Structure 1
């Protein structure tokens, strides 16, 4: 029997355009693509004045936002910039962003940054529809992390009580997406790499998420392969635009296109991440570093035969031989994820983020949905092992 196929990936072009269905008009990708892609998106959408939505650090400490502003100004499409978006998209920033949007007379948003400004922009557009009876206006997303928030039909934000809340509407998918590796060069290493693990979390959990068809699972395997390969390379050579662009494409493959009509957690790792992130101020990328490997290990025990087969098949794409059993293969995948997180310098624990041990029961129950769920004790043990 021959061993795993270790043929290198073909050298695909790292710039181009991909068109899809409403509301997404298309995705431009490639280093430096923003300068030409942003005007094209504006022209196709027929919009006039943008509110640039971003975070304070990206606005104050880099030139990324100014580059976007200058492009919009060159085509007379700039309205204002709002940079009060914090981690986990607090509701106060969303309210203030709506006011900024209306005060400047804007008719679309350009979201620049990670998942927080992209999700906050979706929430702003959603609530403007609810409050003012207007149609959901377009968003153009220019991500600078690998969180992949730009590919979903909904958004998560934090309410006044510190609880993660979701809004969903098929029209919340951005109307345009630009994947420009040049604009990621100033992204802090820990944020860049940890959101790469977030994308890995998407790809892995989609292997056992119900109703994901086989062709999309193949995309997830491709994403897993590239994330394992290029995240360490990006840590070693952080200025490589080629590696960064390949990681942006891997992030895209980890979750898009999915015809999910509603926005929800992909699986247990994401659910735990939502519970931990907002309540204890843990970045979403780091929650995936904490939870993904233990959840995969748990799947070796509790998953269906089909789900175990899907997870075990990842070893082939990673060039690893089978252990001889499905359960062993799934546990090996968990070990490989743990090693990747550690090698990237992203290992952490719940003690570091001051998560009280007395909260474990509440976290486990809310993650599985019921005290009566047969897996609640297993999830409690999973969380206890994260200290």
Structure 2
């Protein structure tokens, strides 16, 4: 059966709500944002029992995929809903009273694909955000649209997508990892926060539950609907809808997925100005990295480095009172938001501070990024970020920052300008890190490199190829470090290998790294397990599981084998299994093998862990077939961790 694509974008005018005059152009006019609202889906042609997956009355929220990165996901749980409002030309979304966000809702234009990914991410910038804006016809998009799709996707939860062309001739099902995913055309409903009334924005409705679209006979995509509505306190009435056709155009985008077949991709470099590595680079070059002769730097670190090593005192003495504005040394594991708030307030009160120096592992580095982001939000200025890592977590290699909310759930921010401008890999600093911690963070770096191989937007050059060589170096140097943890060349080599696992993701990569990282978030901050250890628990098993999800994943994981001392057999699944076995073997060789039982996590937490890792899937819910497959696979993996 064929369904034609109908309906497009509309703005409902509401009696009693005051909105500024409509915009005539995006470039020259501004508006007063309307009231805040939730966004919720509605499938207009009734329930769809063919998949067992309900796509009606799902709230839009940002599914955390990395520090400050999020995909637009859908949940029946209203407590997850993010609040939306229009700010000039952007649809912004925020959560929990602006504790997270506001972040733009963005649509990625993806060549070679008939549908686009929708994100709610602080990393979104105008160069790839089509945006939302007002004109005399109502709510509009910049560029063509074929409507909204709600589809179960790789996170294991429904996600929001946008059609960018004609889905026909076999393109009826969205595909991921060679599996068909049934998508539904939905409308988006506004539920106003202040008035508790419903306002429908008919954004290209129409259910899609079959394998094909019918192309409109005039070969034009239907775009926008003008509509008027009269609202009572509880319901919407009197809706008039008219539609008009527009030319099919596409907003210019600098985002795209990468592919090996055909060989396609996009790499956007980060904002790093210089990377120093080797003994004494901090002593020899730190002051030259300060932006001015009168710069004031604030140090962010943890209590262990400040009280149990001479490192922080060494930096303070290098800076002298001329450049040292203060030190905050209470950053704890997983960067709890309470300490982050405290440090931010100190920095905000001193207008002379123009530089943040983070010293330590992922928590101080991520905290420094979050502080620079918050200071810019408050004062409109970006602080220079210099980092001196002491672990191999590679937090210095991303433009995002993760921190832990008061409920134990990890969230974050991201922006190109929080990427450290200067990195100092000094083995004399790394030598103070306890060997067990240094080794486990090296395994976290290995996790980055392995999951880069099957991430949909990592490029072959430089990301995947460099990461393959990083995997080889980590397999070689981690055992060497275990044998002699004071060897400075080995420490420096490991720093550089860790850098290579993540730095070349660039600013193009969107979405989370993969299942091993998602499981790490589910296990890490909620149970107090360091992320290096979560990677030791999960990575080998995830590599085996990914190989059974699709032939592409099997090929990508199997490609690692020659870099870790194996030989390809021609059977990708078998070779990927061998990669998983070698990863698990390295865990044992390094003395890092552990279990959830040893970490104090009871088996009664199985459903909780799986729900966190899959975006809320549980056996108690009515799941679609795809969701059941995802949940079964993840449960089987997690059960092996006890």
Flag whether TM exceeds 0.5 (same fold). yes
Could you say what secondary structure the match of 2:502 adopts?
A: coil
Write out aligned runs for 1:79-90 (5 A). 79-90=325-336
Is 1:273 matched with 2:529? no
Q: CA deviation at 1:313?
A: 1.4
Counterpart position of 2:120? none
Task: Choose which of 385, 393, 398 in structure 2 pairs with 1:152.
Answer: 398
User: SS of the residue aligned with 1:38?
Assistant: helix
> Aligned in 2, Cα 1:195/1:22: closer, same or farther, shift over 3 Å?
closer
Q: 1:291 to 1:174 in 2, by over 3 A?
A: same
In the alignment, is residue 334 of structure 1 matched against residue 589 of structure 2? no
Segments of structure 1 that go 5 or more residues without pairing to the other structure are 1-19
1:48-103 deviation digits (Å, cap 9, x = unpaired): 111111000011001111121121118x2111111010000001111111122234
Higher Rg of the two aligned structures: 2
Q: Structure 1 pair 66/117, CA: closer, same or farther in 2 (3 Å)?
A: same
Task: Indicate the residue corresponding to 2:547 in structure 1.
Answer: 300
Q: Give 2:283's aligned residue.
A: 35
Contact 2:408–2:526 (CA under 8 A) maintained in structure 1: yes
1:25 aligns with 2:280: no
State TM-score, norm by structure 2. Answer: 0.55
Deviation string 1:22-60 (CA, Å, 9 cap, x unpaired) is: 6321211112111122112114x6771111110000110
Which structure's residues are more often helix, by fraction?
1
Between 336-345 and 133-142, the greater mean CA deviation after superposition: 133-142
Listed one character per residue, the Cα deviations across residues 197-254 of structure 1 (whole Å, up to 9, x for unaligned) are 0000000000000121112211011100000000000010111001111100100110
Matches within 5 A, 1:94-173: 94-104=340-350, 105-130=352-377, 132-173=378-419
The higher-RCO structure (CA 8 Å, 6+ apart) is: 1
Q: Distance in 1 between matches of 2:325 and 2:460?
A: 44
Partner of 1:10: none
Question: Aligned pair in 2 of structure 1 residues 226, 377: CA closer, same or farther (>3 Å)?
Answer: same
Q: CA deviation at 1:129?
A: 2.5
Aligned to 2:307, the other structure's residue is in SS state helix
SS in 2 for 1:87: coil
Secondary structure at the residue paired with 1:254? helix
Q: What is the aligned partner in structure 1 of residue 506 from structure 2?
A: 259
The count of aligned residue pairs is 364
Counterpart contact for 1:166–1:263, Cα < 8 Å? no
| 2:564 pairs with 1:318 | yes
1:236 paired residue number: 483
Give yes or no for contact 2:512–2:518 (8 Å, CA) kept in 1. Answer: yes
What is residue 379 of structure 1 aligned with on the other side? 634
Using the alignment, how far apart are the partners of 2:496 and 2:285 within structure 1?
A: 16
How well do the aligned residues superpose, as a CA RMSD in angstroms?
Answer: 1.8
Bigger proportion of residues as strand: 2
Alpha-carbon offset, residue 369 of structure 1: 3.0
- Please give the alpha-carbon distance, in whole angstroms, between the structure 2 residues aligned to 1:27 and 1:364: 39
**In structure 2, what is the Cα distance between the partners aligned to 1:324 and 1:340?**
24
Equivalence for 2:589: 343
2:613 alignment partner in structure 1: 367
Q: How does 1:38-49 map to 2 (within 5 A)?
A: 38-43=286-291, 48-49=295-296
Matched residues in 2 for 1:102 and 1:325: separation?
A: 57
Instruction: Give the Cα separation in 1 of the matches to 2:506 and 2:416.
Output: 9
Q: In the alignment, which residue of structure 2 is the partner of 1:180?
A: 426
DSSP-derived class of the 1:208 partner:
coil
Q: Residues 114 and 264 of structure 1: is their aligned pair in 2 closer, same or farther, counting only changes over 3 Å? A: farther
Contact 1:154 1:169 in 2 (8 A): yes
In structure 2, relative to structure 1, the CA distance for the partners of 1:362 and 1:201 (3 Å cut) is: same
For the residue of structure 2 that corresponds to 1:35, the secondary structure is helix
Task: For residue 331 of structure 1, give the secondary structure of its aligned residue in structure 2.
Answer: helix
Separation in 1, partners of 2:541, 2:505: 25
Q: Which moved more, 1:45-54 or 1:193-202?
A: 45-54
Structure 2 residue aligned with 1:5: none
In the TM superposition, structure 1's runs of 4+ consecutive aligned residues that sit over 6 Å from their partners are none
| Matches of 2:469 and 2:312, distance apart in 1 | 31
